[in-house]
């Protein structure tokens, strides 16, 4: 049995942050399982303020959480924390979200990078052009060079190929799939279908929710009672609300904002289809969550989502706006097709668990001390379905 580790994880946000997403869920679901396995885990992240986190430092499910700084200053605080305290840890997990924490520069301890996807063009949707160009250069040139000897974990085959494309050595990339909380899985039995579309996730420009809202505007002509539930928070909310008003969709779209797990579960269990119009994802954890409730997904055929969705089995991958809208209409109007997709979606989600995810990542953290870290462990092969 491997010895226990004292792990420091550096993350942009924690799950208490109003803009937390799949990356934060991935980290904390694994971290609490590492603690249950006898390890010690500290997460260092930005401080969202007392409105969301009652205290800067706390212990959640055995995980020690330290919050310092804001969206950008957290990097400086993390560097100072590493310089002062890294000797107290055995491993450092650097969560690379566009820009990593560059832990390799501030700690002599073994470092592992965890990345969900390469942002690439997303930089230009979220930041002014000059800032975006610098961010993209750092992500695609500086990070690979500085981390050329560091093991990298990613969550989908498409993200793995993107990492190879920017110069990360293939033999140092480990593929570890996201999991699903089994307690959230839908019970056996018929899914409660309606004329409802669900979106759960962050409200960001690159999520392209304007395409989904315009699709709903068109769909109401043939499906008068169509309804879209949007759950999540983000800096694109104001623009989304303005578009809803402009298109006269106040009675067809509900903006729930940040929701608790119970509300999210209700939204997913009562929706006919989950819609994800994003320009790219690392994997699409929200898709997997929807599938676990028997809710099939419609998305664009883009990196990450084309790995998370088995096309024409657990959902549909659209080539353009027209096929995206057509797929939504089919699942809203055809009960037989919807039921077939629903059954397949649940079966697909059953292949993934946080237990396997945490176990594989922990093994990589153990092996990261080996200077000859090459050809990572054999990971689970995820099979597509034949329905």
Number of H helices and E strands in the chain, helices first, is 14, 14
Percent of the chain with pLDDT over 90: 75
For residues 290 and 267, the answer to whether their CB atoms sit within 8 Å is no
Confidence of residue 187 (pLDDT cuts 50, 70, 90): very low
Tokens linked to 184: 């959230």
Question: b/e per residue, 264-277, with b = 16+ CB within 10 A?
Answer: bbebbbbbbbbbbb
* pLDDT over 50 (residue 302): yes
Which pLDDT value is given to residue 125?
77
The pLDDT tens digits for 104-155 are 999 999 999 999 988 888 788 778 899 989 999 999 999 999 999 999 999 9
Least confidently predicted of 90-104, 111-125, 156-170: 111-125
DSSP assignment, residue 92? Answer: E
The model's pLDDT over 26-71, given as tens digits with 9 standing for 90+, comes to 999 999 999 999 999 999 999 999 999 989 999 999 999 999 999 8
Q: Interior CA angle at 152 toward 135 and 155, to 5°?
A: 90
Residue 351 has pLDDT above 80, yes or no: yes
Q: Give one DSSP letter per residue of 151-167, joined into a string.
A: -EEESSHHHHHHHHHTT
CATH of 182-349, one of 3.30.9.10, 3.40.630.30, 3.40.50.2000, 3.30.750.24: 3.40.50.2000
Q: Is the pLDDT of residue 25 over 60?
A: yes
Domain(s) of CATH 3.40.50.2000: residues in the chain: 6-179+353-367, 182-349
Cα dihedral across residues 321, 323, 328, 332: positive or negative: positive
Structure tokens at 127: 């930041």
Furthest CA-CA distance within the chain: 63
pLDDT band at 191 (very low <50, low <70, confident <90, very high): very low
Range from 99-108, 186-195, 218-227, 332-341 carrying the lowest mean pLDDT: 186-195
Third-level CATH fold of 6-179+353-367: Rossmann fold (3.40.50)
- Read off the pLDDT band of 315 (50, 70, 90): very high
Q: Which of 191-200, 285-294, 318-327, 338-347 has the lowest mean pLDDT?
A: 191-200
Answer for the pair 258, 323: CB distance below 8 angstroms, yes or no.
no
pLDDT greater at residue 127 or residue 371: 127
What is the model's pLDDT at position 200?
A: 94
- pLDDT for the residue numbered 359: 96
Residue with tokens 């840890």: 89
Reported confidence tier of residue 382, pLDDT bands at 50, 70, 90: low
């Amino acid at each position: 049995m491997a010895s226990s580790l004292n792990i420091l994880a550096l993350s942009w946000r924690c799950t208490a942050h109003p803009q937390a997403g799949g990356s934060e869920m991935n980290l904390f679901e694994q971290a609490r399982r590492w603690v249950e396995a006898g390890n010690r885990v500290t997460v260092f992240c930005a401080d969202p303020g007392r409105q969301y986190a009652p205290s800067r430092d706390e212990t959640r499910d055995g995980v020690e959480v330290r919050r310092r700084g804001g969206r950008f200053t957290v990097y400086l605080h993390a560097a100072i924390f590493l310089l002062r305290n890294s000797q107290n840890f055995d491993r450092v997990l650097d969560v690379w979200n566009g820009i990593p924490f560059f832990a390799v520069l501030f700690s002599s301890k073994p470092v592992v990078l965890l990345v969900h996807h390469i942002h690439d063009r997303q930089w230009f949707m979220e930041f002014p052009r000059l800032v975006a160009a610098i961010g993209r250069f750092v992500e695609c040139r500086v990070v690979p060079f500085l981390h050329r000897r560091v093991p990298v974990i990613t969550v989908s085959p498409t993200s793995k190929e993107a990492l190879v494309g920017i110069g990360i050595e293939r033999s140092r990339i480990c593929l570890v799939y996201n999991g699903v909380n089994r307690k959230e899985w839908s019970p056996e039995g018929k899914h409660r279908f309606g004329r409802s579309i669900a979106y759960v996730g962050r409200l960001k420009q690159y999520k392209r929710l304007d395409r989904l809202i315009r699709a709903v505007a068109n769909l109401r002509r043939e499906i008068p009672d169509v309804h879209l539930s949007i759950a999540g928070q983000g800096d694109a909310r104001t623009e989304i609300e303005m578009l809803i008003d402009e298109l006269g969709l106040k009675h067809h779209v509900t903006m729930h904002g940040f929701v608790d797990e119970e509300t999210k579960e209700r939204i997913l269990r009562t929706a006919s289809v989950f819609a994800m119009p994003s320009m790219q994802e690392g994997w699409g954890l929200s898709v997997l969550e929807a599938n676990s409730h028997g809710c099939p997904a419609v998305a664009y055929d883009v990196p990450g989502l084309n790995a998370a969705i088995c096309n024409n089995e657990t959902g549909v991958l659209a080539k353009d706006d027209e096929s995206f809208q057509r797929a939504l209409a089919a699942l809203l109007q055809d009960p037989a097709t919807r039921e077939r997709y629903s059954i397949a979606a649940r079966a697909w989600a059953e292949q993934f668990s946080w237990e396997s995810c945490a176990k594989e990542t922990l093994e990589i953290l153990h092996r990261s001390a080996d200077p000859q870290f090459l050809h990572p462990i054999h990971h689970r092969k995820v099979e597509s379905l034949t329905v």
